[in-house]
Amino acid sequence: MTARRRFLLGLLIVQLGVTVAYAPTLNDYFAGDDFLVIGPVGRMGAWEVTAKAFVMRDDIPYWRPLVTPLYALYVHGFGLNPMPYHLVVLGLHLTNVTLVAVAARLLLRQSGVALAAGLLFGVHAAHTLTVAQISSTVELFSVVWYLGSVCAALYWLKVRGRPGAGRWYGAAVLCFVLALLSKESTASAAGTLTVLFLLRVYLPGRQAARFVRAVAPFWLLVLPYIAFTYITDTEDPTGITRMLYAPGWHVPTNLWWMVARLAWPVGNGQGPVISAAAHTGAVAVTAAALIVAVRGQAASRFLVAWMVIAMTPLTLWRPDMMLSRFTYQAAAPFAMLCAWGGWLLLRRLPLRQSRAPVGLAALAIVAALLAWLTAGQNRVRTREADSYFLLVHELRRTVPQPPAGSEVVIMDGPWSGPFHALYLEAVAETLYGRDTVRLRNVDSGEPAPAVSAGAVLLRYTGSMLVAGR
């Protein structure tokens, strides 16, 4: 069997392992955040919402025109049947697992290390809920193009000077454009590729002109894009973006939280809380990164820089809004660094003939532990999804066609807090249309609110909604 076929077979095994880790989520219903997409997209036709996405009229507070058609396929193709959504999301994640393995193979030139990197990225619990949550499609889809751009650039560096090599550079630029049209944080790919070209084009022979030519298209694209994104965010009439993120002294705190999350992916993955164990892990990762930056090879230095650059855009968010899925981009170079570090450590051990079995056993143990953490944290999301399944089906049963302008009040429900208040509005839009019905929840222990005439009062019993106070 050729080396390429062994790599492809190993990649298939890795993808099967990642699929097993996420298989329990395929039956999950929608969580609250998912309805923020389903409601606005379902209100318009598929072609209408796709066209409006390009002119920022799709009622989604970000300009992501390449993702909206995928959302339109979801909502208008699958309705409120969640399994097809989950299958598409898992497929995107498996695509990213493949691209991580390919990028690692091109960069580190070790097929075994590349496969280990793909597996660690695929099951890492740092980005728990990213794959299980349908609204995270934007994260997964944008990273497909982000990693595609890095892979194309790496292959261009490998074949540079050969006939037809330029098309791989063109593919890197094209993937970068598609990434920008998918999510704002992928603008960091310009910095990532700049470091790559600095290490692989400029430093070896001080080829300044070639280096500038290599990085120029990416910065000519990203600088106007950043300006456009800043203007549209600050002028957003809903004010959502201004409330969620901005520059400030919280940026270093958020960066530390993300490093800690990668190093110690235990818990629910909600900022800004960091456990003592996570602080210890962050210190260890930071120390290792500094050593690599000073004494490491060019490839490992690039991975450290990539990891930091990938985290930086998302550190602008409010600390209490930091979510585990924000580590998804950075988890790619982090997984490569872990796999590469494990391989270097293994080479130092006096194992000789038993090196491969020991390495495989260690990888299996680490991957199994990460998959176990991922499955456990995904169960939290499953419980939330179960509550929304009950909510949607009970509303359809008890309030199938409320009059326009009416109010539905749920007493003692579990949908409490500012986020769930927003999600309930999206559920009402999904079921009844926009601005047709007001849906709200009253926490257990709070007095019954004053309601308008004709309001529908429902009480949550733990298993259903019943009429009355």
Residue by residue, pLDDT tens for the chain (469 residues) are 788 899 999 999 999 999 999 999 999 999 988 998 888 888 888 888 888 888 777 777 678 889 988 999 889 999 889 999 999 999 999 999 999 999 999 999 999 999 999 999 999 998 888 898 888 899 999 999 999 999 999 999 999 888 888 999 999 999 999 999 999 999 999 999 999 999 988 877 778 888 999 999 999 999 999 888 877 766 655 555 666 777 788 889 999 999 999 999 998 777 788 889 999 999 999 999 999 888 888 999 999 999 999 999 888 888 888 888 899 999 999 999 999 999 988 888 887 667 788 889 999 999 999 999 999 999 888 888 999 999 999 999 888 888 888 888 888 888 887 678 889 998 999 998 888 888 888 887 676 666 666 688 888 888 888 886 6
* pLDDT at residue 358 in the model: 87
Tokens at residue 127, please? 């980005």
| Contact residues for 419 (Cβ-Cβ < 8 A; gap 6+) | 32, 33
> What is residue 217's three-state secondary structure?
helix
**pLDDT of amino acid 236:** 57
pTM of the model: 0.94
DSSP 317: B
pLDDT of 399 reads 87
pLDDT at 209: 87
Strands 465-467, 456-460: pairing is antiparallel
Contacts (Cβ under 8 Å, ≥6 apart) of 66: 141, 178, 181, 182
Place of tokens 């091109």: 106
The whole-angstrom separation of Cα 130 and Cα 242 is 23
Angle between helical axes of 137-159 and 68-78 (0-180°, round to 10): 130
Query: Distance between alpha carbon 10 and the CA centroid of its chain, in Å?
Result: 25
In the sheet that 465-467 helps form, which strands lie side by side, from edge to edge?
Answer: 437-442, 406-411, 456-460, 465-467
Core vs surface per residue 31-48: b (16+ CB within 10 A) or e: bbbbbbbbbbbbbbebee
At 189, list the tokens: 């790919």
The pLDDT of residue 374: 92
Tokens of 364: 């299996």
What is the model's pLDDT at position 173? 97
